[in-house]
Structure 1
Amino acid sequence: MDKKLAILIVAAGASKRLGRPKQLLKWRGETLLNHCIEKVSVLEESTTFLILGAYKNEIEDSLKSKTINVIDNQNWNEGLGSSIREGIYHIKQKKYTDVLIVLSDLPLLSIHYIKVLIASYYSSSKKIAVTSYGNVKGVPVIFNERYFSDLLQLKGDEGAKKIVQKFKEDTLVLESDVPYIDIDTEEAYLALLQLDK
């Protein structure tokens, strides 16, 4: 069967610890979210879906891309799991064979790395590919449709880590070329800006 890749950008959270939407933080003259969208827009033979929830109207007004497929997660306050679940529900309806899940707040990741992750995944027999930051495994991550039903079972604020752990024998692990930075606080954002000087 021909491969059909969906890209799912999860950006529905309320950024409670930061106190303002991290999706709209400035990075290299652009918002983190627009930077992420522009990065993945160069990937060929793929369609990008964007999950929004908290600050939906404000974020939509800031979007530069007019072609991105926006999915409204009205249950965003349940947490990350609900956003992945909502995205997979839509993607499954459209018969995609694989999904690449990314977050808007990992601006250090290069498009080169993402292309390598995709190429490594498709040249492997594994049906999951995950990014490793030393001891931490996380996004970007790719799942084959074989695991869509598992992703649809996610609840609350749990991400897909437990699925990766459960099926680790079917998981390709690729080491990130940059350190892991989670922009959950003002201090973390300032640290990110310092890295760019």
Structure 2
Amino acid sequence: MSGSHAAVVLAAGGSTRLGRPKQLLTREGETLVHRAARLALASGASRVLVVVGAQADDVARAVSDLTVECVVNAQWRTGLAGSVRIAAEALATHAETTLFVTCDQPALGVAHLLTLLDASRRAPSGSAATRFGDRVGIPAVVAPTMLHAALAVQGDRGLRDVLNAADAGVIGCDAPDLGVDLDTPADVALAISRGWLDP
């Protein structure tokens, strides 16, 4: 399946609260960064960028067998926004939508990515995102105008403010399991108990 959307895997974080790189945790023997990049490719993306930062060499090595481009966020300590900006700069001439995924949602499957892409085609804004309570967030599909707006984001907010702006017109798609992300050892234990991570 070939699509015209691009995809970005946000994999630059330092996993400070967890104490080890979440990108390199495994599910069925596959690192989470490899899984996220593989799912992005499986969504039909024409181009997949993996933004690396902390443990950049190890993370890049983990996806070296996939047809992806690694871009380095040397300022990864300043938060997620820097990675979003680097992706937006790399995709400045990309005229179609961009799918953003992270590698700390071990329950992610390709079906949800396809749901988001389908919803983005129906959204007046051309954008769709995953619903978490009364907010939306990543995984998300953003239109070129919204990606351009992301060039102004700062700190650890990433795309959140852009996606949740009152006039954004983003379609929210439910995926309750994606609320489990891997910030703490307790999160890891929960994911293991649900079969989303290797013990």
- What TM-score, normalized by structure 1, do the two folds share? 0.90
Q: Which moved more, 1:161-170 or 1:5-14?
A: 161-170
- Residue 41 of structure 1: SS of its match in structure 2? helix
- Report if aligned partners of 1:134, 1:175 keep a CA contact under 8 Å in 2: no
- Residue 166 of structure 1: SS of its match in structure 2? coil
> 2:18: which partner in 1?
18
Q: 1:45 to 1:130 in 2, by over 3 A?
A: closer
Paired with 1:32 and 1:44, the residues of 2 have a C-alpha distance of 19
Superposition RMSD on alpha carbons, in Å?
Answer: 1.9
> 1:38: which partner in 2?
38
- Report if aligned partners of 1:11, 1:53 keep a CA contact under 8 Å in 2: yes
* Number of aligned residues: 194
Instruction: Show structure 1 runs of 4+ deviating over 4 A.
Output: none
1:42-81 map, 5 Å: 42-81=42-81
Paired with 2:63 and 2:178, the residues of 1 have a C-alpha distance of 27
Paired with 1:60 and 1:164, the residues of 2 have a C-alpha distance of 28
Q: CA deviation at 1:168?
A: 4.0
> 1:109: which partner in 2?
108
> 2:83: which partner in 1?
83
> 1:173: which partner in 2?
172
Q: CA deviation at 1:46?
A: 2.5
Q: Supply the AA of the counterpart residue of 1:33.
A: V
Paired with 1:45 and 1:122, the residues of 2 have a C-alpha distance of 15
- What TM-score, normalized by structure 2, do the two folds share? 0.89
Paired with 1:95 and 1:63, the residues of 2 have a C-alpha distance of 23
Task: Say whether 1:151 aligns with 2:143.
Answer: no
- Report if aligned partners of 1:53, 1:74 keep a CA contact under 8 Å in 2: yes
Q: CA deviation at 1:136?
A: 4.4
- Residue 170 of structure 1: SS of its match in structure 2? coil
Paired with 2:154 and 2:61, the residues of 1 have a C-alpha distance of 29
The Cα offsets for residues 89-124 of structure 1, whole Å up to 9 and x where unpaired, read as 0011x4232111110111212211110110121133
The Cα offsets for residues 1-30 of structure 1, whole Å up to 9 and x where unpaired, read as xx8311010000100011111000121211
Q: Aligned residues: percent identity?
A: 24
Q: 1:125 to 1:157 in 2, by over 3 A?
A: same
Long gaps (5+) in structure 1: none
Paired with 1:147 and 1:43, the residues of 2 have a C-alpha distance of 20
Q: Supply the AA of the counterpart residue of 1:196.
A: G
Paired with 2:122 and 2:40, the residues of 1 have a C-alpha distance of 20
- Report if aligned partners of 1:113, 1:177 keep a CA contact under 8 Å in 2: no
Q: CA deviation at 1:45?
A: 4.8
- Residue 149 of structure 1: SS of its match in structure 2? helix
